[in-house]
Amino acid sequence: MYEKVIHNTEELNAMAVHLRMAHNFSELRLLAAEWLVPEQDLEDFISGKRFLLAEIPMSERNYVSAAEKLREEMWHLKDQLFTDLVAQYLIGRAKEDILFGFRVLKKQKSLQKCMDYIMKQAYQMAEKEREKKFGKKQDPKGRTGNQNQAFGLGIAETKVYQWAEEYYALEDEVKEAKEQAKERKKRLNALKRKEEHRKNAESPKKAAKDTAQKTKAAAEQAAGKKQTAEQSQTAGKKHPTEQKRAAQKMQAAEQKQSEEQKQTAGKNQAAEQKQTAEQKEIPETPVMEKEPTGEPEADLYGRQITVFDLLAGPDAASKGGKE
């Protein structure tokens, strides 16, 4: 589901923190199963005992040289008596052979797996020597006829180094990818079965709860209908006296409203009559005649008559006008 958005352990931890904050633990468990995170680490992360969901593996780190990778793996394994000796030999081989150094730097290769391969080869060699000495196995658990006899086998140092080189020469990338896919499928199927079991266990409880809620809702609906019917019956069975009183109240309210309307209309009519009477009593404004300004007026012929003309008579006036 998250293959397109998560490509390494750093992005895995970021998504895990987001899902934990959102309390989406079902998706978080699926994510942990897809990335093969140990179940105990997952539970510690959910409870808050663990800061990150998964540690960044050395396979996702970038190393400059095979020696750098081997030294860091030595520090993590902390086995000076055996692992450090093998690692020192591998560091020398990587310096001598560049191709061998590239094999050490492969993502799927690790010093821990190299030591597991050496132990497996040593066990198989010891089994063969034991069968030669005591006979073949008599049961599938690996017990032989004489179980109380101790058996030891010494292995040469050169043989151990040979097995170490054989491990780094193996082309096991496809094989490991298949094993991881198989383990991932196993984890997801187990998680799916666990989730189905939980849902099946919760189904009866959920069904009983749903039934109880439906019953309660039906009872409340029936009670509401009954109450409504009782109220309707009570309203229909009112006493005649109460009905009469209600009718009288309604009639009185209508009469009161009609009287108020009449009074309002009378007041408006009286106000209009008063306004009309006031308008009739206002006197007319007399028209004022224009007073003379003392300016001489022109006669019919366009002449101006002066004071001297008036005193001298009409003859003087005609003379003065001509002049």
pLDDT digits (tens, 9 = 90+) for 256-312: 888 888 888 888 888 888 887 777 665 555 555 555 555 554 444 455 555 555 555
Q: Are 53 and 45 in contact (CB under 8 A)?
A: yes
pLDDT of residue 149: 61
Is 242 part of any domain?
no
- As a residue count, the chain comes to 323
> Does 105 lie in the same domain as 15?
no
**pLDDT tens profile 177-224:** 787 788 778 877 887 787 777 778 777 767 677 777 888 888 888 877
Confidence label for 321 from pLDDT (cuts 50, 70 and 90): very low
Distance CA 246, CA 241 (A): 9
- Would you state the structure tokens that stand for residue 17, as one six-digit string? 């923190």
Q: pLDDT > 70: what percent of the chain?
A: 75
pLDDT of residue 311: 58
- Would you state the structure tokens that stand for residue 5, as one six-digit string? 């958005």
CA 119 vs. chain centroid, Å, equals 51
* Residue scoring higher pLDDT (158 or 5): 158
> Does 164 lie in the same domain as 94?
yes
Which distant-in-sequence residues (6+ apart) come within 8 Å of 10 by Cβ? 56
> Does 4 lie in the same domain as 80?
no
> Does 34 lie in the same domain as 72?
no
- Would you state the structure tokens that stand for residue 85, as one six-digit string? 């000796």
> Does 70 lie in the same domain as 118?
yes
DSSP helix, strand, coil percent of the chain (3-state; round to 5): 70, 0, 30
pLDDT of residue 162: 95
**pLDDT tens profile 32-83:** 888 888 888 888 888 888 877 887 777 678 889 999 999 998 988 888 889 9
pLDDT of residue 26: 87
DSSP 304: B
φ, ψ of residue 196 to 5 degrees: the values are -65, -40
Distance CA 126, CA 132 (A): 10
- Would you state the structure tokens that stand for residue 276, as one six-digit string? 């009309």
Q: How many CB atoms lie within 10 A of CB 69?
A: 26
Confidence label for 313 from pLDDT (cuts 50, 70 and 90): low
pLDDT of residue 118: 93
Confidence label for 92 from pLDDT (cuts 50, 70 and 90): very high
> Does 69 lie in the same domain as 166?
yes
In this model, does residue 126 exceed pLDDT 60? Answer: yes
Among the three residues 31, 56, 81, which one is the final residue of a domain in this structure? 56
> Does 21 lie in the same domain as 91?
no
Q: Are 63 and 102 in contact (CB under 8 A)?
A: no
In the chain, the amino acid numbered 48 is: G
Is 142 part of any domain?
no
Is 158 part of any domain?
yes
φ, ψ of residue 304 to 5 degrees: the values are -105, 130
Place of tokens 């987001």: 18
In the chain, the amino acid numbered 109 is: K
> Does 159 lie in the same domain as 126?
yes
Is 13 part of any domain?
yes
Place of tokens 């991932």: 184
Q: Exposed, middle or buried, 280 (CB in 10 Å: 0-12/13-18/19+)?
A: exposed
Is 313 part of any domain?
no
> Does 128 lie in the same domain as 31?
no
Distance CA 165, CA 100 (A): 8
> Does 94 lie in the same domain as 3?
no
Distance CA 161, CA 118 (A): 9
In the chain, the amino acid numbered 197 is: H
Residue ranges making up the domain that contains 122: 63-137+153-171
Is 206 part of any domain?
no
Is 116 part of any domain?
yes
Which distant-in-sequence residues (6+ apart) come within 8 Å of 76 by Cβ? 58
Among the three residues 171, 197, 222, which one is the final residue of a domain in this structure? 171
DSSP 298: B
Q: What's the structural domain count of the chain?
A: 2
Place of tokens 């043989």: 159
Point out the least confidently predicted range of 107-121, 183-197, 236-250. 236-250
> Does 163 lie in the same domain as 93?
yes
Among the three residues 56, 81, 96, which one is the final residue of a domain in this structure? 56
**pLDDT tens profile 133-183:** 877 765 555 554 555 566 677 889 999 999 999 999 998 888 877 877 887
In this model, does residue 100 exceed pLDDT 70? Answer: yes
Is 7 part of any domain?
yes
pLDDT of residue 322: 45
Distance CA 111, CA 94 (A): 14
